[in-house]
Structure 1
């Protein structure tokens, strides 16, 4: 399945394929995610497997830079999938995930069904 825009409860979501291009830099996020989202999406749902491990190591600054780009372009980001191994390896990441999931702009969710439920 290729990356495609799907509607979930009236919200256009760019649903990214787990086998797509690895997102290893902010430029990758701009080219592969944000650029595609500008075809009509409000939310980008990217599988955690597509994100380089540095995204989950907050000391690298990659996650912060990427989240800032999404905010600047007024797009919401949803990271889909199990990130348990990243959570257990970090003191700061669980706090980020907990706070993000309380908000509206960035969510860490297990799957598309959970995203659809949040958008309902």
Structure 2
């Protein structure tokens, strides 16, 4: 895993890159959160290709369980991907509601993700 650090307005953001899946289970989320706390990150950016498909199928409840961990640890997360192609109405609603909050964001670009994480 490669971590690219961005510091914007005093917020330390870890942008994660990997050849492997980074987020597919609650256990992986907890490990990732621990790693980011160790690296003193305030927030992180993940790309959709590093997240298991089950996360985006809300019926599996994987997204809810994982995002609850981010909420519990108060770690901001931006997920970058092409969400214009989402056909699931429930996932569209979930993305829209998440983007209204202050912890979890879905963004089309890295620049948009970074801006959301420091707002």
Bin for the TM-score computed over the shorter chain: 0.7 to 0.9
Structure 1 SS opposite 2:28: helix
Give the unaligned 5+ runs of structure 1: none
How many residue pairs align between the two structures? 117
Corresponding residue SS for 2:82: coil
1:102 to 79, 100, 103: 100
Give the Å deviation of 1:20: 4.1
- In structure 2, the CA distance between the partners of 1:9 and 1:116, relative to structure 1 (3 Å rule), is farther
Specify every segment of 5 or more residues in structure 2 that has no aligned partner in the other structure, as ranges: none
- 1:106 and 1:56 mapped to 2: Cα distance? 14
Q: Is the 8 A contact 2:106 2:113 kept in 1?
A: no
Q: Does structure 1 retain, via aligned residues, the 8 Å contact 2:79–2:113?
A: no
Q: Secondary structure at the match of 2:23?
A: coil
- Distance across 1 between alignment mates of 2:96 and 2:83: 13
Q: Distance in 2 between matches of 1:22 and 1:84?
A: 23
Give the TM-score normalised by the residue count of structure 1.
0.86
TM-superposed deviation, 1:49: 0.8
What's the secondary structure of 1:55's corresponding residue?
Answer: helix
Q: Where do residues 43-58 of structure 1 align in structure 2 (5 Å cutoff)?
A: 43-58=43-58
* Alpha-carbon distance between aligned partners in 2 of 1:60 and 1:84, rounded to the nearest angstrom: 22
TM value normalised by structure 2: 0.87
Q: Is the 8 A contact 1:2 1:20 kept in 2?
A: no
RMSD of equivalent CA atoms: 1.8
In structure 2, distance between residues paired with 1:73 and 1:101: 18
